[in-house]
A = this chain, B = another copy of it.
Amino acid sequence: MKIGRETTPKTAICTSNEHTIVVRGQDLCQDLIGQTSFTDYFLLLLTGKQPTDAARKVVDATLVSIAEHGFVPSVQASRMTYAAAPDALQGAVAAGILGCGPVILGASETAGKMFVRIRERMNDGTSLDDAALAEVQALRAERQPIPGYGHPLHKSRDPRVDALFKVAREAGANLDFIATAEAVERAIPQVISKELKLNVSAAIPAVLLGVDFPVSALRGIPILARTASLIAHLSEEAEQPSGFALSYQATQNLDYTGETPDGYTA
């Protein structure tokens, strides 16, 4: 690489001099500290604009919906990591965040991209239901899962779905992506001969895309939400440890399927 346009880093988020920190065009100390909530500041950082009321309400609701669900795998990973390395809280949080991948929390992003593709299929006049059906068929043809639908336990919709949709409606958000998400739900039985209901990972992008939340940051919602929850779990872990107990319980039933040396007894 040579010095030039491509080798000069660029950013529109923040600059500063000795006296002033400028964030998205505003003076951090004069205009923002004490005058904006963390949710609004997150949206300002992300989009460069003051959020609308609808955006704030929807983003708050999605963060609240996904932050906590008990001793899920990433919380276990985080608490075990903290038990082993309690002087590095940041490492235990990082371990928990690393589980925000496509199988679980990252499905929000994958589902959001699917909704965007469906809307694009409608550009030539295709109806919503036809576009949703075509998308589900295309995923099926490539043996891809339908992200954000179905649940290991529940046959009915996750209750968080309707709670989020209600927030979006009452906040006056654009509801096109909720309609899209529900069209996918209707299309699924036509393609795979069983129902898979909307889960929270599809509901999150369905409401966020209606308030112009950027697709490239969709996975950020579960990451930010879980960070808050992980800090709470690790503060509890510091007072009342469970990390090693979780690890102990996890191997009470364990099949060793390898060989053993002569004379070894379990």
Contacts and interface: CB of A to CB of B under 8 A. Distances in A.
Interface stretch (A89-97, A112-120, A124-132): A89-97
B15 A266 contact: yes
A117 B90 CA distance: 23
A100 B95 contact: no
B80 A106 contact: no
A18 to B, nearest CB: 6
B11 A247 contact: no
A252 B245 CA distance: 12
Contact of A39 (B38, B92, B109): B38
Interface residues of A, number: 138
B14 A254 contact: no
Nearest to A155: B18
B9 A245 contact: yes
Given A71-B9, A258-B11, A248 B86 contact: no
Counting every copy of the chain, the complex holds: 4
B39 A39 contact: yes
Interface in A50-71: 57, 59-61, 63-65, 67-71
Contacts of A191: none
B97 A101 contact: no
A265 interface: yes
Contacts of A80: 73-74, 76-77, 99
A85 B106 contact: yes
A42 B22 CA distance: 27
A143 interface: no
A37 B159 CA distance: 19
A195 interface: no
Contacts of A65: 28, 33
A152 interface: yes
A256 B68 contact: no
B34 A243 contact: no
Contacts of A197: none
B71 A100 contact: no
Given A84-B101, A103-B86, A261-B22, A232 B91 contact: no
A265 B17 contact: yes
Interface of A: 1, 3, 6-34, 36-39, 41-42, 45-46, 48, 57, 59-61, 63-65, 67-74, 76-78, 80-81, 83-95, 97-106, 109, 152-154, 159-160, 162-164, 166-167, 170, 214, 216-217, 219-220, 223-225, 227-229, 231-236, 238-240, 242-261, 264-266
